[in-house]
Amino acid sequence: MKNAIIIGSGLGGLSTALRLSKKGYKVTILEKHSTAGGRLNILEMDGFRFDMGPSFMSMTYELDELFESIGLKTPVELEELDPLYQVFFEGKDKPRLIWKDLKKLEKEFADVEPDLAAKADRYLTRAGQFFHDTEDKVVRANFENKLEYILKLSSVPLKHLPYLFKTIWGEVEKNFKSEEVRIIFSLVAFFLGATPFKTPAIYSLLNYTEMRHNGYWKVKGGMYRLVEEILKILKEWNVEIVYNTEIVGVNNSNGRLTELVDQNGKTWTAELFISNSDAAAFRGKVLKRNKFNEEKLDKMHWTLAPFTIYLGVKGKVDRLNHHNYFLGSNFRGYADTIFTSSINPQKPYFYVNVLSKSDSTCAPEGCENIYILCPVPDLRYKKDWSDKEELANNIISDLSKRVNFNIEKNIITKKILAPDDWSKMLNLYKGSGLGLAHDINQVGAFRPKNKDEEFSNLYYVGASTTPGTGLPMVIISSKLVTERIENEFGSI
């Protein structure tokens, strides 16, 4: 039986552990943090339970594929979001509900965008064609080199070429007349950790995945239930997870990795190694590769950093749904400047998740658990977050006004995680929330590869290698790396 060590227990690492274990590898996971799940984690405080990072997912058939591949059924119950979310525009009392059903959506925006159903249908059909023309060729594929990738790309129908030269904003501007509808359709760029003014139009395919294809889903009982169920299976299959163990160096011989070295100098050996630590930063910081030194990493395009607030609140906040967005005015000015600035945004845009709306077990009776996520500049631009209380208070006070409920006065418990906390906790490079961005020159064969350039027995899985970030993508990443390992190492 071959031994494999996985560095990191994010969803990418855990999914790879399931797949390799099923194939007969003896798997050990080494995790820096004290709990498993990486960004897909949990916070428990004073009787409140919060999803720490992800709060919903798309493309849930990838989850089903993962469990089918190991001979099991998806062990969690998924609930579709309907409406997908609600959006509060500044200065408008009534939030807009975002429906998958285009007739309902048209009704919601009847005052500002006539014929929305037909327009959205056209827009989504176009995005859907792109999605299906590229999903298998580009997203679900391993590439040996750039030439192979470019040849694959050249088989994508030419009609999609204009997508490459436009931004998401350009695409929504072309299709919709009202500023509000344009903003709503461009919000998907933020799910990629970027702004619509800098994100290529190809990612309008995310509108298709959210509004037509598979929609958005949450896990009943909270997203962390997924990690808990995976941990149960791994335990049954004798996969050991060693916590509070950070890999800081390696030893090698004859082009192979022989040992990992942890923060206490302890060494760990195996025949096969898979890093679920950030694929770019690990090459630079742990393997000391010049191509990924700090200066070069800093020049790469990283996704926005998360500023998160977790509030246990007494009372029920009626105006909040499960998923809510709060937007300010001056969308473009905000998106263009705030993320490369060193000062706190005065009128931040933020997302609010309230798990207690659908799960009564995650908060004491009569209480609400409120999770706020605000995209902010990463540590390259704003290093000092000692003013995090000030930004949090600013957001909480804005939220209180907009939902007409005094949240400040009713806080029972509170925790804030600024980009420096996220970075320290999970080794997120400079606090970037979703890892490397998805610019054309950072995807496919241009993204850090899932196979190491020098060590023949070192592989990568997760958000900063192929295909990209988000829960379904890291599950696909685990499939791709397992296929590569199987081809190169042989099955057992």
Interaction site with ligand FAD (CB under 6 A): 7-13, 30-33, 38-40, 53-57, 246-247, 276-277, 286, 306, 308, 373, 426-427, 433-434, 462-463, 469-471, 474
CB count within 10 Å of CB 267 equals 12
Nearer to ligand FAD, 21 or 175 (CB): 21
**Minimum CB–partner distance for residue 474 and ligand FAD (Å):** 4
Shortest gap between Cβ of 409 and ligand FAD (angstroms)?
A: 26
Could you give the CA distance from residue 78 to residue 398 in angstroms, rounded to a whole number? 32
d(CA 294, CA 148): 29
* Closer to ligand FAD by Cβ: residue 51 or 106: 51
Shorter beta-carbon distance to ligand FAD: residue 170 or 222: 222
CB nearer to ligand FAD: pick between 55 and 442: 55
CB of 304 to ligand FAD, least distance (A): 10
Pairing between β-strand 305-314 and β-strand 411-417 as defined by DSSP bridges: antiparallel
Q: At what angle do helices 116-134 and 168-175 cross, to 10 degrees?
A: 140
Encoding tokens for residue 461? Answer: 């899985």
Least distance from C-beta 154 to ligand FAD, angstroms? 29
Closest approach of ligand FAD to the CB of residue 31, in Å:
5
DSSP 384-417: --TTHHHHHHHHHHHHHHHHTS-TGGGEEEEEEE
Instruction: Name the minimum Å distance from CB 465 to ligand FAD.
Output: 8
CA distance linking residue 307 with residue 126, whole number of Å? 34
Distance CA 84, CA 475 (A): 22
Strand partners, 49: 44
Nearer to ligand FAD, 29 or 116 (CB): 29
Q: At closest approach, how far in Å is the CB of 110 from ligand FAD? A: 30
Cβ contacts of residue 331 below 8 Å, gap of 6+?
179, 183
Closest Cα partner for 308 from 421, 176, 192?
421
Tokens representing 108 are 């919601």
Q: Check the CA dihedral 361-363-368-373 and report its sign.
A: negative
Of 175 and 457, CB closest to ligand FAD: 457
Which CB atom, from 202 or from 475, has the smaller least distance to ligand FAD? 475
